[in-house]
């Protein structure tokens, strides 16, 4: 697949010497749903700002839709829908009127079809019934939906979404995930920044992991998760005894949650069947035993050495 976003050596150093992004080589394939991951302060937001031409890089290059940014911003941005750090809304205007303002500011938008486009966008994000309500009365989730509707007013080659499910309830999150899949099926590339790793795993085809301004890894989501080791899991009513025995058998990272004990998987020289037999021999009633499939979160922790925090 060709690249919709590509960076080479992209670097941003702020005054005072702070290095926010360090030599980033990023490739976002055409037609992908691309998850952009990183802990607080990893450089994700700075990268997005450079890609959208909001700030200049210190060095390196970035192309979006095959054009250099920020030099080609005027020709590129009309083909890109964005929702970055929450939508900017006029609180005294209705949701529909806010979209009308966004649409009228787009020089490529045909005013004769404005009403139809606004109605379609409101329907797609589930805000048709609240379109007449003033934006200041919207919940955080409704504001996120309205921002997404603004990004969908015109057909887009690329959508750049920063925490698009922020403030949404579980049903709203499912609806937005479904919408992202629909957009990808229609040929739109979606570049999605999120701190919800399970969400990224459910909806994204590709992902990149940032830490301390540097790119740690990128590639298909399935391959990233496959590169991590899953956890040993024991389902038992005797959690205390199981945890004690696993530690005595040399396992690390032993944790108890309800009726489940998990641990780091054993080394190559240890047969999991022997561990199971040792638990049973020690009087532990084992209801289920096995190595769980590694998740994207497991891969992230293994790559960065830390848990996930709200992205910065």
Instruction: Report the C-alpha gap between 154 and 152 in whole angstroms.
Output: 5
Q: What is the 3-state secondary structure (H, E, C) of the chain?
A: CCEEEEEEEEEEECCCCCEEEEEECCEEECCCEEEEECCCCCCHHHHHHHHCCCCCCCEEEEEECCEEECCCHHHHHHHEEEECCCCCCCCCCEHHHHHHHHHHCCCCCCHHHHHHHHHHHHHHCCCHHHCCCEHHHCCHHHHHHHHHHHHCCCCCCEEEEECCCCCCCHHHHHHHHHHHHHHHHCCCEEEEECCCHHHHHHHCCEEEEEECCEEEEEEEHHHHHHCCCCCEEEECCCHHHHHHHHHHCCCCCCEEECCEEEECCCCCCCCHHHHHHHHHHCCCCCCEEEECCCCHHHHHHHHHCCCCCCCC
Task: Note down pLDDT in tens along the chain; length 312 residues.
Answer: 589 999 999 999 998 888 999 999 999 999 999 999 887 778 888 999 999 999 999 999 999 999 999 999 989 988 999 888 778 899 999 999 999 999 998 888 899 999 999 999 999 888 999 999 999 999 888 888 899 899 989 888 999 998 887 777 888 788 888 888 888 888 899 999 877 777 777 889 999 988 889 998 898 987 776 666 678 899 999 999 999 999 999 998 899 999 999 988 887 778 888 999 999 999 999 999 987 766 666 666 666 665 544 333
Backbone angles phi, psi at 69, to 5 degrees: -115, 140
| Exposure letters 271-288 (e unless 16+ CB within 10 A, then b) | eeeebbeebeeeebebee
| Residues 12 and 72 sit within 8 Å (Cβ to Cβ) | no
Tokens 């919207």 sit on residue: 138
What the chain holds in terms of domains, given with CATH numbers, is 3-226 (3.40.50.300), 232-292 (3.30.70.100)
Q: Quick one: which of 38, 29, 135, 123 has its CA closest to 89?
A: 135
* Total number of residues shown for the chain: 312
Cα first-last separation, the chain: 29
Backbone angles phi, psi at 47, to 5 degrees: -60, -45
Query: What's the pLDDT score for residue 310?
Result: 38
| Residues 192 and 34 sit within 8 Å (Cβ to Cβ) | yes
Beta-carbon count within 10 A of 168 CB: 18
């Amino acid at each position: 697949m060709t690249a919709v976003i590509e960076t080479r050596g992209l670097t941003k150093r702020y005054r005072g010497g702070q290095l926010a992004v360090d030599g980033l080589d990023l490739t976002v394939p055409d037609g992908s749903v691309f998850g952009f991951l990183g802990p607080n302060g990893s450089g994700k937001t700075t990268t997005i700002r450079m890609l959208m031409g909001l700030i200049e890089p210190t060095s390196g290059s970035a192309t979006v839709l095959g054009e250099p940014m920020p030099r080609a911003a005027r020709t590129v941005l009309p083909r890109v829908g964005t929702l970055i750090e929450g939508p900017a809304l006029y609180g005294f205007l209705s949701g529909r009127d806010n979209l009308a303002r966004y649409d009228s500011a787009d020089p490529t938008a045909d005013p004769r079809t404005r009403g139809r486009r606004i109605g379609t966008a409101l329907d797609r994000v589930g805000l048709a019934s609240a379109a007449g309500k003033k934006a200041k009365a919207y919940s955080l989730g409704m504001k996120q939906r309205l921002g997404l509707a603004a990004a969908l007013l015109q057909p887009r080659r690329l959508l750049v979404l920063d925490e698009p499910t922020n403030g949404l309830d579980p049903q709203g999150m499912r609806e937005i995930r479904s919408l992202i899949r629909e957009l990808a099926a229609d040929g739109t590339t979606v570049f999605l920044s999120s701190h919800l790793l399970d969400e990224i795993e459910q909806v994204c085809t590709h992902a990149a992991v940032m830490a301390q301004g540097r790119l740690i890894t990128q590639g298909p989501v399935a391959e990233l998760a496959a590169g991590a080791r899953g956890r040993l899991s024991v389902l038992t009513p005797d959690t205390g005894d199981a945890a004690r025995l696993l530690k005595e058998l040399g396992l690390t990272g032993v944790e108890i949650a309800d009726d489940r004990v998990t641990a780091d998987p054993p080394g190559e020289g240890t047969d999991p069947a022997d561990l199971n037999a040792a638990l049973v021999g020690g009087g532990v009633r084992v209801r289920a035993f096995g190595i769980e499939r590694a998740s994207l979160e497991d891969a992230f922790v293994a790559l960065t050495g830390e848990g996930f925090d709200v992205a910065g």
